[in-house]
Copies of this chain bind each other. A is one copy, B any other.
C-alpha cells in the first residue's frame, strides 16, 4: 500500500477495496459489516437496510442533475439494491465559505423533489462550514434506512452458474456526462446523466419474481467494476455478449474518441441484475415498461469456469478478458 491517499483509493476499484480491507475492515470488523451496498440489520424486530454515501461530484451541476439529486439517488439506489424500500434519510452538508446560497437552495430543492419521487423522507441533517479553500464548493453525505422486503435475499455473493446478467439500460451515461462537463477535452456531445432513483424499478422486478440473486447499481467504476466484484464475491465466471451491451451512440462516440471502455464509465441510474435464466425474459419485459429502464437487456451469463474472471465475446466470436478495474479513470465522479 502507498503511504499516502491517492486518487486511485477513491476509484471504487481495486485500490478502494484494498483501503477498505486494510484500514477499515481491520478495525470495524463485526458480523453486520457489509460488503454489499447496504448493511442488513435486525432492530427491535424490524428488518432494516442501512447505508451511507458521500457526494463530492465536480462540477456539482451537470446535464441531467446536480449534486443534490445525485445525493438522494445514490443512497436510495443502494437501499433498493438490497431489496429494501427506502423510508428515511439524513443529509450532512459541508459548505465552503463564500459558496452561493442560491445554489445550496437549488440543490436542496432537487433533493426534496427526488426524495418525494422515491417516497423517502429527509428527517435530520447537519451543516458545517469550512473556510475558503478548505473544501471545494460543497460536499453532501446522505444516509438511508430502508425496510427489507420479505422473501428477498440479494447479495453480490449469490450469483450462480446459469444466471443471466441483465442491465437495466444503456450504460456509461453519468461518467461520460461528467467528463464532458469538465470541458477539458473540448468535445461537444449531447449526453445526459442517467441519474435516477430506482426503488420503483426494483419494486416492479420484485413484483415480477423474487427469484433474483444480485442487484447492484453500477456507480463509480461502472458496470465492469461491479461485474468483477460479483465474480469475486460469488466465486463464479461471467461471460458477456459484447453486441448485447446497450450503449447510447453519443456515449459510444465519445468513448471512441477518447479510447475509453463504456463498461468502466460510471452510471447513476442503472442496475446490474443476476437472476436464473428462465426468469430473465420476464424481468427484462417488466424493466422495459419502467420509466428508467426502457433499454434493459440481457448482456451475458454466469459460468462455473474461470471464477473471478469477466470474459467478453466480441461480435466476430472472439473472447477477450475484461481487464480488472484499476487506477482512477475520473476523480470526483459522484
Contacts and interface: CB of A to CB of B under 8 A. Distances in A.
Contacts of A41: 87-88, 123, 145
A243 interface: no
Contacts of A127: 9-10, 16, 19-20, 24, 54
Nearest to A19: B127
B99 A4 contact: yes
Given A90-B143, A111-B28, A128-B10, A48 B43 contact: yes
A105 to B, nearest CB: 5
A104 interface: yes
A5 B104 contact: yes
Interface stretch (A130-138, A178-186, A258-266, A283-291): A130-138
Contact of A145 (B1, B43, B111, B133): B43
Contact of A112 (B28, B44, B45, B98): B28
Size bracket, chain A contacts: 35 or more
Interface string A1-36: 111111101100000100110011011101011100
A94 B108 CA distance: 21
Nearest to A38: B124
A43 B87 contact: yes
A33 B100 contact: no
Interface of A: 1-7, 9-10, 16, 19-20, 23-24, 26-28, 30, 32-34, 38-39, 41, 43-48, 50-56, 58, 87-88, 90-102, 104-105, 108-109, 111-112, 115, 121-131, 133-136, 139, 141, 143, 145, 147, 328, 331-332, 334
B33 A122 contact: yes
A58 B105 CA distance: 27
B141 A92 contact: yes
Contacts of A331: 129-131
Given A4-B101, A30-B123, A135-B135, 12 more contacts: A5-B100, A9-B95, A27-B108, A28-B108, A28-B115, A52-B90, A54-B94, A90-B143, A126-B141, A128-B334, A129-B328, A131-B332
A129 B38 contact: no
Nearest to A1: B101
Contacts of A98: 4-6
A56 B94 contact: yes
A126 B9 contact: no
Contact of A48 (B5, B44, B54): B44
B90 A50 contact: yes
A296 to B, nearest CB: 27
Contacts of A97: 4-7
Contact of A24 (B88, B108, B121, B139): B108
